[in-house]
Amino acid sequence: MNSRQSRRSLPCRSAVALCVLLVAACAGNGEGLDANGQPLVPGGSAPSPLSADFESIQENIFTPICSVCHAGGSAPEGLRLDAANSYNLLVGVPSTEVPSLLRVQPGDPDNSYVIQKLEGHQAVGMQMPFGCPNTQPCLSASTIAFIRQWITNGAPPATATAAPAAVNDMLAVTSIVPDSMEPVSAPPPQVMVAFNHELDVSQLTTHSMHFEKLAAGTTSTVLAQVAARSTVSSANLRALMIWPARPLAAGHYRLVVDATSSNRFSDLAGQTVALGTPDERGQAVISTFDVEVRQ
Amino acid sequence: MIQRLIQNQRFVLAALVLAIVALLRAAPAAAEPYLAVLEGYKCNVCHVNPTGAGLRNAFGLTYAKVLLPAETLDNTLDSWDGKLADRLRVGGDLRAAWTRVTAPNTPSQQAFSLEQFRVYADLVILPDRLGIYVDEQIAPNGSQNEEAYVRYGNTTDGFYVKGGQFYLPFGWRLQDQTAFVRQVTGINMTAPDKGVELGYEHAAWSAQFDVTNGVANATTGSGYQVTTQIVYTKPIWRVGIAGSSTQSSAGDRRMGGLFAGLKTGPIAWLAEGDIVHDDSLGRSLVAGLLEGDWRLLKGHNLKLTAEYSDPDRAVRNNQETRYSFVYEYTPLPFLQLRAGYRHYFGIPQNNQQHQQLILAELHGYF
């Protein structure tokens, strides 16, 4: 073989080698894993059959099927359906495709957008799971019926989180969005504070908050104030939403609880948790973030 | 012999077309990068969008009329050049399919479906400098905007800027949006993003740099995604590298990908390997693709695909693979028939990872 032939055959050999490598790659044998591909926990229980409760729906549908795409930093429509996030991002939260509909409207499956997407009569976009019915099975009517029943029952959270707080399960904040000097690419419609328990809504009237626009590079030089109102979705009592009275322009912001107001929040069991850290003026700072409006 | 066999099969295929049209309901519009590899073209040779897919330009339409189909309709289509007016070009894709999906311990499902009907429009305001592009999904269900952006600059030789909503450039823009490499990266033709793109096209080079919201940030209004891709194209081979970083309240996500194409005689080879690390999931994912497209005759293509996915590199024995066999027949300009079989393999305890799919598809485009 001369050098020219050798040069020509190199890409061909590479292609053949790559082909053999990929074709020879085998699927996993599943040893030591559960049905969702996660390592078995010693002493762990077998997965429960599908039933009309959130824990079962998460375990049998959201985790194995939906969270293949709807998870992490690339979750479509910002909807993360992994076990840690799915409930708070489904129940009582407006859909991004049809904002007039909640993803899950407790007690009303027909007007829950998740049901419309699963049954294929959604107003916008594709039926879910992605690829259904062309490249993967749609959820059967009997499977969707369990989700419908859970919504009809009021869409309660998983039993573990709905139970009265134990001593070692104190009321706590699970996430604040946006927070931690997070750059925000557009004026945020609201700041969301998620708790691990349902809040006592009757106590919310004692809280008063506002946004402060700070001078660049400072932590306390206030340029302007924007009033805010706080609400808890009746459909999801674990998520506190704080809405600015007007859209926030580009700048450096923090959300604070007024010095004259309480920054302690209560759950239904009477437990309280303080929100934010006090600044030099005695205000509790809940969140600090930068709005970077992009065109 | 093969040609006679194929000619006889045309009647069967024609009957299939009529049956599908009569029952018309289903399938997606997307790119076919194997054609670019086979011909040695860059994406912008055939498409208005410099990163490929969507509306075909004048050459793309000529290719679809003359070079792609088995039979060319002499003079019949000469008057159709995609232009409704001097500066307004339109096009569309409609895919309808019949599929049967089976999985162990699961009732099989079969259905006719209309997966997508899309229309495209490109308005040239200043020739070679300023234009507006729209890609609208008309069906199924309500209308949905996929792409809509303003483009400034030269998309064939030089720098350009896009601003608006568009698909991100990352790896092969495949026809199959469920391919592992498109699912794992989350960058595909069902997930457009809003932001700006700076692009560069010159000779064998194509490059893009995008700053966008990130699809996961749709509800939070926070975070952003930076994506970049560089491709070097030669007549019989090409190689590309892509990277993306997303900052999200869910956690940061970083991705890298390598992809390449090679022509060996009548066969176009496409390969891609991607690695993803997602902080919010606390895991790294890997996906790979190898596709071979063999142009048996003019208008006939055999597509074989092998794919690999590791959904968590830290967990052993959880890998998935997928193999596809698809025959594509383009009897006439703007009409394509596809039929194929796909088999998934995964862990034995998960039925969904052992699906088998049979598909017959009708694709009309203009």
Q: What is the DSSP string of chain A?
A: --HHHHHHHHHHHHHHHHHHHHHH------TTB-TTSPBPPTTPPPPPPP-SSHHHHIIIIITTTGGGTSSGGG-GGG---STTTHHHHHBT-B-SSSTTSBSB-TT-GGGBHHHHHHHT--SSS--SSTTTTTTSPPPPHHHHHHHHHHHHTT----HHHHSPPPTTS---EEEEES-SSEEESS--S-EEEEESS-B-GGGGGG--EEEEEEPTT-SS-EEEEEEEEEEE-TT-TTEEEEEESS---SEEEEEEE-TTS--EEEBTTS-EEE-SEE-TTS-EEEEEEEE----
A137–B103 C-beta distance less than 8 A: yes
Q: Which amino acid is at B270?
A: L
Which residues, other chains included, contact A102 with Cβ-Cβ below 8 Å and sequence gap of 6+? A91, A92, A93, A94, A95, A111, A112, A113, A235
Mean pLDDT, chain A, as a whole number?
A: 77
A10 chain-B contacts, CB cut-off 8 A: none
Higher pLDDT, B67 or A168: B67
Per residue in B346-358, pLDDT (tens digit) is: 999 888 889 899 9
Tell me the whole-structure pTM to 2 decimals: 0.70
Helix H or strand E encompassing B26: none
Q: A135 and chain B: CB distance < 8 Å anywhere?
A: yes
Higher pLDDT, B21 or B282: B282
Q: A76 and chain B: CB distance < 8 Å anywhere?
A: yes
Q: A175 and chain B: CB distance < 8 Å anywhere?
A: yes
Q: Which two tokens stand for residue B214?
A: 């990130």
pLDDT at residue B320, rounded to an integer: 93
Task: Report the domain count for chain B.
Answer: 1
Considering only B45-49, B66-70, B226-230, B247-251, which range has the smallest mean pLDDT?
A: B247-251
B246–A82 C-beta distance less than 8 A: no
Mean pLDDT, chain B, as a whole number?
A: 87
Between residues 69 and 128 of chain B, which touch chain A (CB distance below 8 Å)? Answer: 97, 99, 101, 103, 106-107, 109, 111, 113, 115
Strand A182-184 and strand A284-291: the pairing is parallel
Q: Give the whole-number percent of chain B exceeding pLDDT 90.
A: 67
pLDDT at residue B21, rounded to an integer: 36
Per residue in B102-153, pLDDT (tens digit) is: 888 888 888 888 888 999 999 999 998 999 999 999 988 778 889 999 999 9
Higher pLDDT, A153 or B1: A153
Say which CATH number the domain at B252 has. Answer: 2.40.160.10
Distances (CA, A) of B117 to B31, B58, B63, B138: 14, 21, 21, 5
Q: How confident is the model at residue B18 (pLDDT cuts 50, 70, 90)?
A: very low
Q: Which two tokens stand for residue B295?
A: 């142009």
Q: Could you tell me which of B201, B205, B211, B203 has the C-alpha nearest to residue B160?
A: B201
Q: B251 and chain A: CB distance < 8 Å anywhere?
A: yes
ipTM: 0.72
Asked if pLDDT for residue B157 goes beyond 80, the answer is yes
Q: Structural domains in chain A?
A: 54-160 (no CATH), 164-291 (2.60.40.1220)
Name the minimum distance, in Å, from the CA of B338 to any CA of chain A: 13
pLDDT at residue B16, rounded to an integer: 42
pLDDT at residue A184, rounded to an integer: 56
Name the minimum distance, in Å, from the CA of B101 to any CA of chain A: 6
B236 chain-A contacts, CB cut-off 8 A: 11
Asked if pLDDT for residue B2 goes beyond 70, the answer is no
Q: A140 and chain B: CB distance < 8 Å anywhere?
A: yes
Cis peptide before A39 (omega within 30 of 0): no
B223–A182 C-beta distance less than 8 A: yes
Considering only A269-283, B15-29, B79-93, B269-283, which range has the smallest mean pLDDT?
A: B15-29
Residue of B nearest to A295 (CA): B195
Asked if pLDDT for residue B176 goes beyond 70, the answer is yes
Name the minimum distance, in Å, from the CA of A186 to any CA of chain B: 6
pLDDT at residue B271, rounded to an integer: 97
Out of B101, B187, B249, closest to residue A136 by CB: B101
Identify from A185, A193, A242 which residue to disrupt to test chain B contact, counting B C-beta atoms within 10 A and taking the largest count.
Answer: A185
- The parts of chain A modelled with pLDDT lower than 70 are 1-25, 43-47, 73, 160-169, 175, 177-190, 205-206, 233-235, 292-295
pLDDT at residue B11, rounded to an integer: 45
Rounded to an integer, what distance in angstroms lies between the CA atom of residue A22 and that of residue B336?
A: 29
A69–B315 C-beta distance less than 8 A: no
B349–A34 C-beta distance less than 8 A: yes
Q: Which two tokens stand for residue B1?
A: 């012999």
Q: B265 and chain A: CB distance < 8 Å anywhere?
A: no
pLDDT at residue A160, rounded to an integer: 55
B222–A183 C-beta distance less than 8 A: yes
Asked if pLDDT for residue B25 goes beyond 50, the answer is no
Quote the distance between the C-alpha of residue A8 and its chain's center. Answer: 52
Q: Could you tell me which of B31, B33, B40 has the C-alpha nearest to residue B263?
A: B40
A124 chain-B contacts, CB cut-off 8 A: 141-142, 144
Q: Give the whole-number percent of chain B exceeding pLDDT 70.
A: 90
Q: B175 and chain A: CB distance < 8 Å anywhere?
A: no
Asked if pLDDT for residue B22 goes beyond 70, the answer is no
pLDDT at residue B142, rounded to an integer: 74
pLDDT at residue A279, rounded to an integer: 77
Q: Which two tokens stand for residue B27?
A: 């399938």
Rounded to an integer, what distance in angstroms lies between the CA atom of residue B246 and that of residue B220?
A: 14
Helix H or strand E encompassing B55: none
B214–A74 C-beta distance less than 8 A: yes
Which residues, other chains included, contact B131 with Cβ-Cβ below 8 Å and sequence gap of 6+? B122, B123, B124, B125, B150, B151
Q: Which domain holds residue B52?
A: 2-365
Residue B274: CA count within 13 A, CB half-sphere: 29
Asked if pLDDT for residue B85 goes beyond 50, the answer is yes
Q: A133 and chain B: CB distance < 8 Å anywhere?
A: yes
The DSSP symbol for B155 reads S
Helix H or strand E encompassing B118: strand B106-126
Out of B218, B290, B317, closest to residue A31 by CB: B317
Between residues 9 and 28 of chain A, which touch chain B (CB distance below 8 Å)? Answer: 11-12, 14-15, 18-19, 22-23, 25-28
B101 chain-A contacts, CB cut-off 8 A: 133, 135-137
